[in-house]
Amino acid sequence: MIKSNHKSVDSNGRVYLPELTRWNPYSSNLVSIIGILSSVFSSEPPVHAVRSPGPQVLTAQVINPPGMSRRDILINSLTVKLRAKLPARVKTEVDELNRAREAENVVKANNTRIKKAQADLINLRVRMETEIEALIALDAQNREWIKKNSADASDAAPNSTSALSYLEAESVVGQQVIDLMAEECAHEDLMDYLCALNRDGKLSMSDLLKEIRVLTRKLFEIRTLKRRSLVVLQSGNSMGNALKVPSPPAR
């Protein structure tokens, strides 16, 4: 640090040494110049490093009553430090518990949706089985009626060689019965094909039930129309004027 009251220091704190400006390597005394320069500076360092205060950490003060053993003092100090760190640790545990609870809520919601979907499928299956049983019963009645009336038709038309030729002979209504039989067989084959796709894993159960529901309705309409047509044939009206039977809608 520069001495402010030195003779070689001016009022602005600058060092002025004429010996330096008049330096001569042959006549000047280097030792004396170094001595003058040394006298300008004091023994204190020119720069003082001031330590900045660090962040203030609030810690609980450990108060140890007099007469405590060293073991009790250490236990007391450790307890205070653990209590200071406990909030951060508890927050971490609480966050993990909240995340686990959210995941549990998602799983519960998914389970609820799955159970509802299973219940809907079971109800749909029950309805489909009921409809299929009704269609089977109706089909059995139709087959019994066809069997009975085929025998009567054979007696009435001895020249006919088969039921098909008998139906063809009845013109419009007979041709319509043949078309309905063909469409019925096509729908049954389609149902078998869809069941095979489901067994192979190429068609989901929900899609299968949806298609079966549509096909069973079609079969019911076809078989009902076929039964009406057979009634017309039985009445002997070959032109179909007594009862006009509409064709089933195309799929």
Is the pTM higher than 0.75?
A: no
- Spatial distance between the Cα atoms of 89 and 238, rounded to a whole number of angstroms: 94
**pLDDT for the residue 153:** 54
Q: How wide is the angle at C-alpha 112 spanned by C-alphas 110 and 116, nearest 5°? A: 115
DSSP β-bridge partners for residue 2? 41
**pLDDT for the residue 250:** 46
Cα-atom radius of gyration of the chain, to the nearest Å?
Answer: 55
Give phi and psi for 119, each to the nearest 5.
Answer: -65, -40
Give phi and psi for 60, each to the nearest 5.
Answer: -70, 135
Q: What is the mean pLDDT of each run of 10 residues along the chain (251 residues)?
A: 70 73 77 77 55 52 61 79 77 85 91 90 86 83 78 52 49 78 87 87 85 88 86 61 45 44
